[in-house]
Structure 1
């Protein structure tokens, strides 16, 4: 077996299984969208406000110059002080609180792409006539639509690389393992389209690395990459990643000159689609990614007697990144699923991937190439954090969600590693069954923690007090959320059963 072997044909039962997993994930995201109060996801106020500005016809101004609308701030005040049946429509807020506030909205440091989509959605639902939380819920559900396909993308990528239907389905279930991903993917942000476009970019990259050398695949990869960098700067590390992938694909089949030409064409097409914003930044501001908060966070010295230390930087960085990758909720990441749990899960994942994904074998080239994307994200994020620490005396920009664009790479690498670690036969079936249960269980636990934190004063499990609170300020009646949660839970049970039973009955020969 080698990287150019085509995976086995997709059987009908497998199509049913991945359809159930994907539909369940969509319901799961809807449940998260209904669970987390509006404005309580990271930077959600700024993301919502950016879409409102464009819906009102305001220009996309220079980084640091945009101000949050007073109407958006007023909505947050109503949320904290009034029951939902007394909340205003968007038009009423705009009339009662016209104009911008003094609060800086940093989002114009990003391209306006995601916010233009949000503005179009707001106009389509006639947002001015809607109660503000319902108008902003429409933005959340738009992001849900972007992210829903992520299990399907992960399944296709893992299946292409490993040729194993069972591994591919477990890869799809792995998307549930990060409650943080579900929370971010169901909130208003520019991360949602990034998750989809980055996932598609990685999927097409795996196809090329495993022998799909057709020009239409290369051009599809270029289009996906161009669209990705058109949305957010976290997609920029995918540019060198794609260059490495295209240059490496077909080695031994295509000559160096042909592969170099294909790389130039792919990058040129991607650049033609998505480079305009970044070139504009370089010409207008002298840098690729201006800081929307630069004026508010000037350089400052450490307090007397204090100085930067590697130990402090690593302690803060490790703790924050692991928590906010797996599950730390609220606009200030106030609550997490547990420091010990997130540390243990991170260490297990890293140990398995580092220990077994890069061993000599037919998938080594694919594994090395897929590592480029997450490694670049790590390097860039840490360079930013170190710079902030040395110049502003604080460890900043340490968010685990910054690694979500490479989540499909991480899932594929994990699949390669686990299949090398666990012997074929019964041991692999046992481990596959355990993973199929534990991965979504981690996501369910995160949902329960978030529910208790937001609606039940951190008490667990949620009581009648929490239900009453949701009745007062939730976006929908509690029964609606309960039905969505029950449907998602049923889908998860069916998904796990399909994966585990298929593994025992049909997949023993696919090793």
Structure 2
């Protein structure tokens, strides 16, 4: 069993004027592979829990994948209308966005569910598909994936949606491995790396993203790759190869979603932190990598945004530009008097805090008690601040105890800045809409998930420094808390959203399970087998983490003068 903590005698004085040494790990341990398997099984469980089209904008994403399959890659903003078959299928599934207790409606028998094309091949006239505002990479890849699935075009619509959801699941499979390997790069601590990889599994919205048809899945993968490369750079890898890889990842992200436009400042920061010497010397060392990454990324993905400016006069046009004002208010809510900058910040961060571990419905209902969600959000913010504070030399002994190498303020900031940039972008977009008298919008935590790797690593560092000798039990505690919280969230969805309106709680649960099984893409025995497999993987992961904790010997705190890890200056 690998020992997660370094002995104090192995810690040597480090001078961060030189690139931080990087220890290569030849293979991943069993525990992280179980985490990957558990993520996959939890996401499959989410595909069963939520019937087709019950995730944010899922019907629009499905329709636009079909459009790309048919070669319609460049519809004008607001010009795409939903395929008639997609509209028909959407109408057959009870919607949960504006109702509760959908389980009172008998599921449509599987034999009566038809393919999208059978339900109607032409475009309808009901509503514009706003996904025309997004670049084509995700939709093109998802359309290509449908050709890998035998006879996809003729399958029932719920199976067609399942396969597209599976594509999102596959895109997110590498994320725990990327988080683990990146965390391990900055420490010699399996416990810290595993804790970081487990934290996203506690977020129902992250699991739902891997169980939904959405371009957010590809954006999360690419964002995770980008931040992982930024960590390599900030820890001293200024090679041309890394710059090219970063440019490729950023270029692909530019062809996926507009939030990639916020990345360049983070690239510049990482190169400045990873360089050495005076500020002028760092700039001279940084500019070749920044130039290469910027040139490669721009060559791949900037053309889409330049095209928008030329054609529409704006970087990202409104996909609902052809929607009448009356129709818009009927769908999204009645406008109010213009808001102000006095009340917007409070409304913004209140809703954001509520949704970090919320958003288990469409979007905010049902929900666990808000005080639970707000408390978790406040703890997250506090741990992120603490991860910056522990860069101070007074924490050097505790950092050495948990194997964190060269944890400086600049390097810690490199992990947090990508999420801050996306948050600022989201804040600006939401504020602009709110001040024009419309409902609060654009406040979606899924927009921050592409930068989640940096946040969870910072949280893992902070809690390990706090835990000290008890840190070896943190992966087990994290997974236990995750399973309890996700279980409570799933129960809330079943009881409020998928149940009947029976006053008897047990009867509501039975009705909800019957409803979910009825809408699942597979027969009930297959669904039960998949859920049992998910439970088995969860138990196996708990056992392995418990054994790891028991076999990892805690290290006694060393005398402070014997340890110096990192430098407080970048």
User: What TM-score, normalized by structure 1, do the two folds share?
Assistant: 0.90
Kindly state the Cα deviation for residue 115 of structure 1 after the two structures are TM-superposed: 0.9
Q: Aligned match of 1:156 in 165, 168, 181?
A: 181
1:176-255 to 2 correspondence within 5 Å? 176-252=201-277, 255=282
Could you list the runs of 5+ residues in structure 1 that have no partner in the other structure? none
For residue 91 of structure 1, what is the aligned residue in structure 2? Answer: 117
Kindly state the Cα deviation for residue 270 of structure 1 after the two structures are TM-superposed: 1.2
Cα 1:508–1:11 change in 2 (3 A) is farther
Q: SS of 2:392's equivalent?
A: coil
Cα 1:218–1:313 change in 2 (3 A) is same
Q: Contact between 2:429 and 2:442, CA under 8 Å: does it hold in 1?
A: yes
Answering whether residue 138 of structure 2 is matched by residue 107 of structure 1, we say no
Deviations, residues 37-94 of structure 1 (Å, cap 9, x unaligned) = 1111000010001011122233421111111111111012223473332111233112
- Looking at structure 2, the residues matched to 89 and 209 of structure 1 have their Cα atoms a distance apart, in angstroms, of 50
Q: Aligned match of 2:166 in 141, 144, 152?
A: 141
Q: Aligned match of 1:346 in 377, 390, 411?
A: 377
Shifted more, 242-251 versus 369-378: the winner is: 242-251
For residue 300 of structure 2, what is the aligned residue in structure 1? Answer: 273
Q: SS of 1:231's equivalent?
A: coil
Shifted more, 31-40 versus 435-444: the winner is: 435-444
For residue 121 of structure 1, what is the aligned residue in structure 2? Answer: 145
For residue 490 of structure 2, what is the aligned residue in structure 1? Answer: 447
For residue 360 of structure 1, what is the aligned residue in structure 2? Answer: 392
Rg: which structure is higher?
2
Q: Contact between 2:275 and 2:285, CA under 8 Å: does it hold in 1?
A: no
- Looking at structure 2, the residues matched to 250 and 333 of structure 1 have their Cα atoms a distance apart, in angstroms, of 44
1:417-436 to 2 correspondence within 5 Å? 417-422=462-467, 424-426=468-470, 428-429=471-472, 431=474, 433-436=476-479
- Looking at structure 2, the residues matched to 26 and 455 of structure 1 have their Cα atoms a distance apart, in angstroms, of 23
Shifted more, 277-286 versus 434-443: the winner is: 434-443
1:322-333 to 2 correspondence within 5 Å? 322-333=353-364
Q: Contact between 1:234 and 1:405, CA under 8 Å: does it hold in 2?
A: no
Kindly state the Cα deviation for residue 440 of structure 1 after the two structures are TM-superposed: 3.9
- Looking at structure 2, the residues matched to 241 and 167 of structure 1 have their Cα atoms a distance apart, in angstroms, of 24
Cα 1:365–1:390 change in 2 (3 A) is same
Cα 1:120–1:429 change in 2 (3 A) is closer
Kindly state the Cα deviation for residue 245 of structure 1 after the two structures are TM-superposed: 1.2
Q: SS of 1:57's equivalent?
A: coil
1:377-388 to 2 correspondence within 5 Å? 377-388=422-433
- Looking at structure 2, the residues matched to 143 and 454 of structure 1 have their Cα atoms a distance apart, in angstroms, of 24
Kindly state the Cα deviation for residue 316 of structure 1 after the two structures are TM-superposed: 3.2
Q: Contact between 1:226 and 1:272, CA under 8 Å: does it hold in 2?
A: yes
Answering whether residue 89 of structure 2 is matched by residue 62 of structure 1, we say no
Q: SS of 1:374's equivalent?
A: helix
Cα 1:11–1:454 change in 2 (3 A) is farther
Kindly state the Cα deviation for residue 472 of structure 1 after the two structures are TM-superposed: 3.1
- Looking at structure 1, the residues matched to 336 and 361 of structure 2 have their Cα atoms a distance apart, in angstroms, of 34
Indicate the structure whose relative CO is greater, using CA pairs within 8 Å and at least 6 residues apart: 2
Answering whether residue 309 of structure 2 is matched by residue 282 of structure 1, we say yes
Q: Contact between 1:166 and 1:499, CA under 8 Å: does it hold in 2?
A: no
Kindly state the Cα deviation for residue 140 of structure 1 after the two structures are TM-superposed: 0.5
- Looking at structure 1, the residues matched to 434 and 136 of structure 2 have their Cα atoms a distance apart, in angstroms, of 29
Q: Aligned match of 1:320 in 341, 351, 364?
A: 351
Q: Contact between 1:324 and 1:401, CA under 8 Å: does it hold in 2?
A: no
- Looking at structure 1, the residues matched to 164 and 511 of structure 2 have their Cα atoms a distance apart, in angstroms, of 28
- Looking at structure 2, the residues matched to 390 and 305 of structure 1 have their Cα atoms a distance apart, in angstroms, of 10
Kindly state the Cα deviation for residue 99 of structure 1 after the two structures are TM-superposed: 2.6
- Looking at structure 2, the residues matched to 316 and 83 of structure 1 have their Cα atoms a distance apart, in angstroms, of 43
- Looking at structure 1, the residues matched to 73 and 212 of structure 2 have their Cα atoms a distance apart, in angstroms, of 24
Cα 1:165–1:252 change in 2 (3 A) is farther
Q: Contact between 1:42 and 1:333, CA under 8 Å: does it hold in 2?
A: no
Deviations, residues 9-34 of structure 1 (Å, cap 9, x unaligned) = 5487x611111111221121122122
Kindly state the Cα deviation for residue 279 of structure 1 after the two structures are TM-superposed: 1.3
Kindly state the Cα deviation for residue 336 of structure 1 after the two structures are TM-superposed: 2.2
Q: SS of 1:207's equivalent?
A: helix
User: What TM-score, normalized by structure 2, do the two folds share?
Assistant: 0.82
- Looking at structure 1, the residues matched to 499 and 68 of structure 2 have their Cα atoms a distance apart, in angstroms, of 36
Q: Aligned match of 1:82 in 90, 102, 108?
A: 108
Q: Contact between 1:84 and 1:474, CA under 8 Å: does it hold in 2?
A: no
- Looking at structure 1, the residues matched to 487 and 304 of structure 2 have their Cα atoms a distance apart, in angstroms, of 39
Shifted more, 235-244 versus 305-314: the winner is: 305-314
Cα 1:141–1:472 change in 2 (3 A) is same
Q: SS of 1:37's equivalent?
A: coil
Q: Aligned match of 1:403 in 434, 448, 459?
A: 448
- Looking at structure 1, the residues matched to 232 and 147 of structure 2 have their Cα atoms a distance apart, in angstroms, of 38
Q: Contact between 2:469 and 2:556, CA under 8 Å: does it hold in 1?
A: no
Q: Contact between 1:166 and 1:507, CA under 8 Å: does it hold in 2?
A: no
Q: Contact between 2:229 and 2:242, CA under 8 Å: does it hold in 1?
A: yes
Query: What is the Cα-based RMSD across aligned positions, in Å?
Result: 2.8
For residue 38 of structure 1, what is the aligned residue in structure 2? Answer: 52
Q: Aligned match of 2:460 in 395, 415, 428?
A: 415
Deviations, residues 116-169 of structure 1 (Å, cap 9, x unaligned) = 122222333333311111112110001100012211111112222233211001
